[in-house]
Amino acid sequence: MTETGNSAMPRTVWVLTEGALGMVNQCLALTEALGLDPLIKRARPPGLWAYIPPWLALPPLTRLAPHSESLAPPFPDLLIACGRKSIGLALAVRRASAGPCFVVYVQDPRINPARFDLVIAPRHDRVRGANVVLTQGAPNRVTPARLEAAKTLFAPLFAGLPLPLITVLLGGRTKHHRFDPAEAETLGRQLAALATQEHAGLAITASRRTPRDSLAAFRRGLGDSRAYFYDGAGENPYFGLLAHADAIVVTADSVNMISDACSTGRPVLVAALKGRTSSRFQHFLVEMRANGLIRWFDGRLEHYDYAPLTDAAIAAAELRRRFATFMRH
């Protein structure tokens, strides 16, 4: 093991997910905060193994779903997993490891957290335990250094837009929300009116979940507003949009997007969506608003200050401490 200060640090790290970008990014947020370069593994259990609860049996590591990456030894010193289908595989790696392998799960695993060496989960999840670290939102890769670099790199994209600049993060369909064309067009009209009223520019990006017909309706609502719209071509300017924002409007469907926005220190205005919000997500929104990080978007621009989220740095510090303790035993 190498040493950083008085803490042992892992030499080898795997990030294990089923491949969803949001899951990968939460794990990378931790490895970046630790200053580690991980090997990213995208893998799923085969067939029915994907549906067998991990408390009944663990999936085989030698036979994985198509397009999965190998989970063969040598196993890493540290494994960080995220996503339901990665739980059994992460525990199987822990069991199969011939040497010490510290296994971390990000989010609520919905099994006994003691099965892992560490669980990192947001406070609105139900999981609690001696080896559970609670965060305000989702660990993310938004840091002052990354924002500063992105501000310089992507400045030409926004140079022609009026100020203040309002960044807009559009989500999409979930189990609880549809983000249908009618509400998308309404949101576009609200933003167009706000841009006119404030003489502001708009910088907009949609997610992979944004329905095409809703995106088209949103554009209709915007009309001829002065706006930059990332259409998926070229390098993704996501961090640039956050870095240049004077305020951020984000749809109320994603813990990850709201957490990203609240890591900037800029005002974050959450646009409500139709649907029945889950109790977990509602708890998240209520707590974020009570702590002064977000406000509901009602068509107006608001100005306020708060301490930006630093969940990844806080969780990584605790991970480092517990890993050092793990290596001493």
Q: Among candidates 219, 222, 224, 263, which has minimal Cα distance to 245? A: 263
State the pLDDT confidence band at 255, using cuts at 50, 70 and 90.
very high
DSSP-derived letter for residue 44 is -
Both tokens assigned to 28: 């990378």
Q: What is the pLDDT of residues 214-248, one digit of tens each?
A: 999 999 999 999 999 998 888 999 999 999 999 99
Q: What is the pLDDT of residues 276-292, one digit of tens each?
A: 888 999 999 999 999 99
| Domain 144-296, CATH homologous superfamily name and number | Glycogen Phosphorylase B; (3.40.50.2000)
Q: Tell me which architecture the domain covering 2-140+311-328 has in CATH.
A: 3-Layer(aba) Sandwich (3.40)
Whether the domain at 2-140+311-328 and the domain at 144-296 fall into the same CATH topology: yes
Question: What is residue 119's predicted lDDT score, i.e. its pLDDT?
Answer: 98
The Cα–Cα gap between 244 and 149 comes to 11
Q: What is the pTM of this model?
A: 0.93
More confident position, 328 or 29: 29
DSSP-derived letter for residue 115 is G
The Cα–Cα gap between 195 and 222 comes to 10
The Cα–Cα gap between 189 and 79 comes to 46
The Cα–Cα gap between 27 and 81 comes to 7
Q: Is the model's pLDDT at 110 over the cut of 60?
A: yes
Q: What is the pLDDT of residues 148-164, one digit of tens each?
A: 999 999 999 999 999 99
Give residue limits of the domains in the chain: 2-140+311-328, 144-296
The Cα–Cα gap between 131 and 238 comes to 33
